[in-house]
């Protein structure tokens, strides 16, 4: 039997009534340490500074990020270890979004409304299973993938009902170890046994990693056809198309995916980068503007997002006169990037270049020269790299 009193829990729920009720339930089960967050953004801060055995999060968290995005962020950035349990509370209408995210799924979910007895049962079962997978998860957390595979095999021996879960982990370990042929064999075998989305997805991924693009494409398209909520399949199809140099098609796929699930920051960044490459500055600006918005309180917050948003506006300025709101947007993002400037010479240099280039693209030589001299000052004090010659030439200095 699991002893809840030694476990640390965090409860993430935006509705006060539900929060109070669920906290009482957890207290009744014996949990002594329960932290509370009302939205994903504050949850990230708590998750950054504490470790929890149980994360009980609602899917619907108001205006900000939803529970699934929170899960993806904290799992992807390893903010929570594999050993902790993520239980998602969903409504009937949101379950499809959770189930559709094949790459990052919660350990379990419970649909609202639920009784205290049902929550207790779910938690017990989940934590018991987590206990059985403990050695595997410890190995995964320390990136010992060979050990994780061994532990999976031991666990399958001991608990045959965990076979599916363990095989799925083994597949992911092979990919992490870049043993793609082994991964391919495993996924094909699983797929023959039973057509589960994770095995089809895994197989598609390995095809892509083995540069077997046609096969990867067919399988990803099959997944998209099977279930329109498998948005991860869109992301990987875009990667597959980019690898083949089919950038415009990839762009269309990402736009489609973002229509289904617009709040994904990584997807916005991906579309923004792709659009910059395609010199589609308008779309790049929209994507990075959204990414800038989403980056606040995100694990994926980095100076690149802001710099690329600025680059997109610089790009627009090379094609047309900037609208007042685009100028405003530039100013506001420039302000946001300031906190990153002291962190690296590259970031500071990039920001200088962007500023000079923006004035140049607007044929504003006076301000461009001023901006350039600020860059030179920073170079002299060692805060930035040397200004590029081609810019010097453009300024005819």
Partner 1 sequence: MNELDISTILASAIHESKNRIGTLLYHTHTIKNHKEMDTDIDQTVDTIENILKQLNDEWVEYLYLYKLSTNGYNIQYETLNVSEFLDDQVFVLSSTAISKNLTLDFRCKDGLFATFDERLITSAISTTIYNSFRFAKKTITITAEMHENFLVFSIEDDGPGFENDEHDDFLFSQNTGLGLYFCDLSAQSHIINDTSGYITKGKSDLLNGACLKIFLPQ
Would you tell me which residues interact with partner 1 (CB under 8 A)?
92-93, 95-96, 99-100, 111, 113, 115, 117-118, 121, 125, 160-161, 164, 194-197, 226-229
Between 193 and 335, name the residue whose CB sits nearer to partner 1.
Answer: 193
Between 49 and 194, name the residue whose CB sits nearer to partner 1.
Answer: 194
3-state DSSP of 283-299: HHHHHHHHHHHHHCCCC
Do β-strands 54-58 and 85-90 pair in parallel, antiparallel, or remain unpaired? parallel
Between 31 and 229, name the residue whose CB sits nearer to partner 1.
Answer: 229
Question: In angstroms, what is the minimal distance from the CB of 235 to partner 1?
Answer: 18
Longest dimension (CA), the chain: 77
Question: In angstroms, what is the minimal distance from the CB of 230 to partner 1?
Answer: 9
Question: In angstroms, what is the minimal distance from the CB of 267 to partner 1?
Answer: 20
C-alpha to C-alpha distances, 83 to 68, 140, 162, nearest whole angstrom? 18, 9, 16
* Number of CB atoms found within 10 A of residue 343's CB: 11
H or E, element range at 280: none
Between 180 and 229, name the residue whose CB sits nearer to partner 1.
Answer: 229
* Number of CB atoms found within 10 A of residue 83's CB: 17
Between 48 and 121, name the residue whose CB sits nearer to partner 1.
Answer: 121
Helix then strand then coil, % of the chain, to nearest 5: 70, 5, 25
- Asked if 283 and 291 count as a contact pair (C-beta separation under 8 A), the reply is no
The span from the CA of 93 to the CA of 237, in Å, is 26
- Asked if 99 and 230 count as a contact pair (C-beta separation under 8 A), the reply is no
Between 126 and 294, name the residue whose CB sits nearer to partner 1.
Answer: 126
Question: In angstroms, what is the minimal distance from the CB of 132 to partner 1?
Answer: 13
What radius of gyration do the chain's Cα atoms show?
A: 24
Between 131 and 343, name the residue whose CB sits nearer to partner 1.
Answer: 131
Question: In angstroms, what is the minimal distance from the CB of 91 to partner 1?
Answer: 10
The set of residues, in sequence order, having a beta carbon less than 8 Å from that of 83 and lying 6+ positions away, is: 53, 130, 134, 137, 138, 141
Between 81 and 108, name the residue whose CB sits nearer to partner 1.
Answer: 108
Between 234 and 330, name the residue whose CB sits nearer to partner 1.
Answer: 234
Question: In angstroms, what is the minimal distance from the CB of 92 to partner 1?
Answer: 5
Virtual torsion, Cα 181, 182, 185, 189, nearest 10 deg: -160
For residue 178, report the phi and psi dihedrals to the nearest 5 degrees: 60, 25
Question: In angstroms, what is the minimal distance from the CB of 220 to partner 1?
Answer: 16
Question: In angstroms, what is the minimal distance from the CB of 183 to partner 1?
Answer: 20
Question: In angstroms, what is the minimal distance from the CB of 324 to partner 1?
Answer: 43
- Asked if 201 and 99 count as a contact pair (C-beta separation under 8 A), the reply is no
**CA-wise closest residue to 53 among 105, 5, 115, 114:** 5
**CA-wise closest residue to 14 among 48, 47, 40:** 40
The position carrying tokens 């960044």 is 269
Question: In angstroms, what is the minimal distance from the CB of 161 to partner 1?
Answer: 5
The span from the CA of 295 to the CA of 300, in Å, is 6
Between 15 and 95, name the residue whose CB sits nearer to partner 1.
Answer: 95
């Amino acid at each position: 039997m699991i002893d809840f009193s030694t476990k640390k829990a965090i409860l993430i729920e935006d509705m006060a009534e539900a929060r109070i009720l669920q906290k009482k339930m957890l207290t009744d089960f014996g949990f002594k340490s329960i932290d509370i967050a009302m939205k994903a953004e504050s949850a990230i801060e708590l998750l950054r500074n504490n470790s929890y055995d149980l994360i009980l999060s609602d899917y619907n968290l108001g205006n900000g990020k939803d529970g699934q995005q929170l899960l993806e962020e904290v799992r992807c950035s390893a903010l929570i270890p594999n050993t902790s349990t993520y239980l998602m509370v969903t409504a009937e209408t949101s379950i499809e979004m959770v189930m559709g995210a094949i790459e990052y799924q919660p350990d379990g979910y419970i649909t609202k409304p639920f009784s205290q007895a049902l929550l207790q049962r779910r938690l017990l079962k989940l934590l018991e299973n987590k206990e059985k997978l403990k050695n595997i998860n410890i190995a995964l957390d320390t990136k010992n993938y060979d050990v994780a595979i061994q532990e999976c095999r031991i666990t399958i021996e001991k608990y045959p009902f965990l076979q599916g879960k363990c095989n799925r982990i083994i597949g992911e370990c092979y990919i992490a170890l870049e043993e793609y042929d082994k991964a391919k064999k495993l996924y094909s075998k699983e797929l023959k046994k039973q057509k589960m989305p994770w095995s089809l997805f895994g197989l598609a991924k390995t095809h892509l990693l083995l540069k077997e693009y046609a096969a990867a494409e067919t399988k990803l398209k099959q997944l998209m056809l099977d279930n329109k909520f498998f948005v991860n399949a869109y992301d990987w199809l875009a990667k597959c198309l980019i690898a083949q140099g089919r950038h415009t098609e990839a762009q269309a796929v990402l736009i489609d995916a973002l229509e289904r699930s617009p709040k994904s920051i990584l997807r916005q960044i991906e579309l923004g980068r792709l659009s910059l490459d395609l010199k589609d500055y308008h779309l790049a600006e929209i994507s990075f503007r959204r990414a800038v918005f989403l980056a606040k309180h995100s694990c994926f917050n980095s100076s690149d997002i802001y710099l690329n948003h600025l680059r997109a506006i610089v790009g627009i300025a090379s094609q047309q006169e900037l609208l007042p709101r685009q100028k405003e947007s530039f100013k506001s993002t420039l302000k946001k990037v300031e906190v990153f400037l002291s962190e690296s010479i590259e970031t500071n240099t990039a920001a200088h270049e962007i500023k000079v280039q923006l004035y140049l693209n607007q044929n504003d030589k006076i301000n461009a020269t001023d901006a350039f001299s600020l860059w030179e000052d920073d170079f002299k004090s060692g805060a930035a790299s040397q200004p590029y010659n081609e810019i010097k030439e453009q300024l005819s200095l």
